[in-house]
Amino acid sequence: MLMSNDKSTSGDGKARRPRPPSPAPVAVVPPARPARSPGRSYSYAGVFVMLGLALGGLAWVGLWGLDWRVRRDLDRVGAYQVSFDQIDVAPPRGMGRDAFLAEVRFLSAQPETISLLDRSMPARLSAAFRAHPWVAEVKSVAVGTGGTVRVDLKFREPVLRIADGENGTERLVDPAGILLPRLEGRRDWPELVGEAVGPPASPGQPWPSSVVRDGARLSGILVTGNSVSRVKSIRRIGTSWVLTTVYGDVTWGRCPGQETAGEPVAAEKLARLLAWLDAPGVNSPPDLLQAR
């Protein structure tokens, strides 16, 4: 009987060693790159942008410094200096231009000259002219050809005269009851009579008495209606106002804006008053309180 043998033999009868198994192929994985920290996550484009901004900022600072030095040197030699009394401006009624500019400069403590190179010059001049009691509004401040400075103003308009018993003179107020500087000449505005109104405020400030302020509001309506020379005086009796005209007394009623229910408004009263003043002697004084 033949016996099986699991060992292979070579031709010479010697036993053959078994071959070791081939190793499995190993995949080569490159090492993982470390993650960037958030603080370093930028690109080259960002670096160039930041560098450009930095250079632009340095250039701006340099130009600003050069501009400041040039302006300072020009101011020192007086190349762009203008005397305050050379400002081109129309004065208020009854004043000369030189006197007006002298008062503006005194009240606002301005220097003798102004610099055309000073960027704050328009704002400073606006504040200086607003400090004068006659000035209601500064419309514009402009530098013209040849280095001239032009200031355009709106002035307060007087509408009512008030007797100043202490000095034996008359004071003027505008429609808001603001006391104006003394004015020589024209005296045809209505006069407030019949009631003590106390001392005035400083020029440019509202008169403290409400009687003056209400009378100024009423007189402002009369002045705009071209009746200024035909209404001689106004006085308050109780809550009603009475006008003394060249043709007699007319009861106006309450102050404009304070009318009671059913009382005609100021515009209607004024129209009826003017119609009567334009045709004197035709009718008796109109009843301005009668509703139509």
DSSP secondary structure letter of residue 182: -
Q: Which residue in this structure is represented by tokens 């002298």?
A: 102
Q: Which residue in this structure is represented by tokens 């407030």?
A: 192
Q: Which residue in this structure is represented by tokens 């509004």?
A: 137
Q: What are phi and psi of 83, to 5 degrees?
A: -70, 140
The CATH class given to the 81-155 domain equals alpha beta
Q: How far apart are the first and last CA of the chain?
A: 154
- Specify the DSSP element, H or E, that contains 191: strand 191-192
Q: Which residue in this structure is represented by tokens 């190179």?
A: 117
* pLDDT given for residue 56 in this prediction: 67
Per-residue pLDDT of the chain (292 residues; tens, 9 = 90+): 444 445 444 455 555 666 666 665 555 556 656 555 555 555 667 776 777 776 666 655 555 454 445 445 544 545 578 999 999 999 998 889 999 999 999 999 999 999 888 888 999 999 999 999 999 999 999 988 778 899 999 999 999 999 876 666 789 999 999 999 988 777 789 999 988 888 888 999 999 999 999 999 999 999 887 777 899 999 999 999 999 998 999 999 999 999 999 999 999 999 999 999 888 666 788 899 987 7
Domain boundaries, the chain: 81-155, 160-277
Query: CA distances (Å), 128 to each of 100, 103, 123, 135, 190, in order?
Result: 12, 10, 9, 10, 32
* pLDDT given for residue 52 in this prediction: 73
How is residue 235 written in tokens? 């006085």
* pLDDT given for residue 87 in this prediction: 95
